[in-house]
Amino acid sequence: MSGSDKSQQECAATPEAARHSCDAHWRSPLVAQTLAVHRPVGPVVYDCLNILFIRSGSAIMFSEFGRQPVSVGDAILLGPNVLFSCEPECQVSVTSIRVDTDFALDQFFWQHSAVLHDRLDAPGFAEKIYSEPAQILRLGRDRAGMVVPWIDEMVALSVERRFRERFNRLQALWFAVMDVLGPFIRVSPARLTPLQRARARPVLPRSRRLAPLRPEALLAREALHENVAYRWTLHELSERVRLSPQQLTRVFVDAFGKTPIAYLTMLRVQEMARLLRESDLSVAAVGRCVGWSSRSRATEAFIEHVGLSPSRYRSMRPVVADR
């Protein structure tokens, strides 16, 4: 038996060990930590949302809000890439909740889904709403006391590293904390005008009716999924489901929030991403595999959907060690 086979057999024989190994490598979008600070910290910066709860003691915080004293009952909200430092007065105990930016933006998108038609609109709109990236939230001792059991449980889950297994609980605790913090976060007024670009953009559809679908819409979607690389035209697809092109577009948008061609572009980009992760084909070859003869068209669609170039996306895939 080879070393690799033996290792796989041992993993299969110890599911508990395998679970812990999986959890150890699963990156949580939420991490909580409590620590005592005895000496000045910083200046430091995190590429994530960071919320600091003062548990005991007091300190002087420095950030874009200037120099501010903080003590029990206060929370500090720091946006991604915001510089801050802390000078404790003797000692201060702090619980920090660090939140992945994409995870936070996804929640922001659904919170404002009435005016944001796709996730690509969320970052810009969030910057307008939260124009103060560093804030001191004066919760008061009573309200701060409400969140203590929740953040303590988040810390415990982070220490145990049971992120995957307790993911739903971790999210529930985060939502409970934000429900208390939300009214204290200062936001800037923004004109809430629905943006009408989603139907033509290759992003995941948001507008779903959550209602029975027309069979023609299902048939058209199945055809697109079955042959992503085929050069579908709206006319050919409409003939397949026995509707006019105008009728098919209306029915498909009602069902999936996108035109058939935009939906096909989305599928192609998703397949491109899979091939970039799982193969060593060139970007041009990957584009041809999913139906684009032009590398520039494939790259353009990929950047619009993912926010990164295909080459940059590939460079971010994890390195698998040789066995």
Task: Residue 53: name the closest of 77, 29, 69 by CA.
Answer: 77
Containing structural domain, residue 281: 199-323
Could you report the per-residue pLDDT of 107-151, keeping only the tens digit for each? 888 888 777 766 767 777 888 888 888 999 999 999 999 999 999
Q: pLDDT value at position 11?
A: 41
Integer Cα distance of 169 and 2 in angstroms: 40
Q: Are residues 180 and 222 in the same domain?
A: no
pTM for the predicted model, two decimal places: 0.64
The number of distinct structural domains making up the chain is: 2
Q: Are residues 247 and 169 in the same domain?
A: no
What are the beta bridge partners of residue 145? none
Torsion sign across C-alpha atoms 147, 152, 157, 163: positive
Percent helix, strand, coil in the chain, to 5, is 50, 20, 30
Residue 127 lies in a domain: yes
Residue 6 lies in a domain: no
Q: pLDDT value at position 322?
A: 44
Asked if the model's pLDDT at residue 47 lies above 90, the reply is: no
Task: Indicate the residue among 184, 207, 239 that finishes a domain.
Answer: 184
The gap from C-alpha 69 to its chain's centroid, in whole angstroms, comes to 33
Q: Are residues 113 and 211 in the same domain?
A: no
Integer Cα distance of 44 and 46 in angstroms: 7
Angle between helices 215-226 and 260-278 (to 10 degrees): 30
- The lowest-confidence range among 17-26, 151-160, 167-176, 220-229 is 17-26
Amino acid type, 14: T
Could you report the per-residue pLDDT of 275-289, keeping only the tens digit for each? 998 888 999 999 999
Q: Are residues 293 and 152 in the same domain?
A: no
Q: pLDDT value at position 132?
A: 85
Q: Are residues 83 and 140 in the same domain?
A: yes
Asked if the model's pLDDT at residue 21 lies above 80, the reply is: no
Integer Cα distance of 84 and 142 in angstroms: 26
Residue 18 lies in a domain: no
How does residue 96 score in pLDDT terms, banded at 50, 70 and 90?
Answer: very high
Q: pLDDT value at position 1?
A: 46
Asked if the model's pLDDT at residue 180 lies above 70, the reply is: yes
Q: pLDDT value at position 8?
A: 42
Q: Are 255 and 214 in contact (CB under 8 A)?
A: yes
Integer Cα distance of 176 and 32 in angstroms: 14
Q: Are residues 81 and 174 in the same domain?
A: yes
Q: Are residues 54 and 145 in the same domain?
A: yes
Q: Please give the torsion angle defined by the CA atoms of residues 138, 141, 144 and 148, in that order, rounded to the nearest 10 degrees.
A: 150
Residue 4 lies in a domain: no
Q: Are residues 215 and 319 in the same domain?
A: yes
Q: pLDDT value at position 52?
A: 93
Asked if the model's pLDDT at residue 57 lies above 50, the reply is: yes
Q: Are 55 and 33 in contact (CB under 8 A)?
A: no
Phi-psi label, residue 242: left if phi above 0, alpha if psi -120 to 50, beta otherwise = left
Q: Which helix (H) or strand (E) holds 170?
A: helix 167-181
Residue 19 lies in a domain: no
Asked if the model's pLDDT at residue 157 lies above 50, the reply is: yes
Q: Are residues 107 and 248 in the same domain?
A: no
Q: What is the CATH number of the domain that holds 223?
A: 1.10.10.60
Pairing between strand 49-63 and 66-71? antiparallel
Task: Residue 151: name the closest of 103, 93, 214 by CA.
Answer: 93
Integer Cα distance of 239 and 262 in angstroms: 18
Q: pLDDT value at position 285?
A: 93
- What is the Rg, in whole angstroms, of the alpha carbon atoms belonging to the chain? 24
Q: Which helix (H) or strand (E) holds 58?
A: strand 49-63
Task: Residue 102: name the closest of 119, 82, 85 by CA.
Answer: 119
Could you report the per-residue pLDDT of 241-263, keeping only the tens digit for each? 999 999 999 888 888 878 899 89
Asked if the model's pLDDT at residue 240 lies above 70, the reply is: yes
Q: pLDDT value at position 318?
A: 63
Asked if the model's pLDDT at residue 58 lies above 80, the reply is: yes
How does residue 219 score in pLDDT terms, banded at 50, 70 and 90?
Answer: very high
Q: Are residues 161 and 214 in the same domain?
A: no
Residue 7 lies in a domain: no
Q: Are 153 and 173 in contact (CB under 8 A)?
A: yes
Q: Are residues 156 and 40 in the same domain?
A: yes
Task: Retrieve residue 8's tokens.
Answer: 């796989």
Residue 213 lies in a domain: yes
DSSP for residue 322:
P
Task: Indicate the residue among 142, 158, 184 that finishes a domain.
Answer: 184
Q: pLDDT value at position 13?
A: 45
Q: pLDDT value at position 131?
A: 82
Task: Indicate the residue among 160, 184, 208 that finishes a domain.
Answer: 184
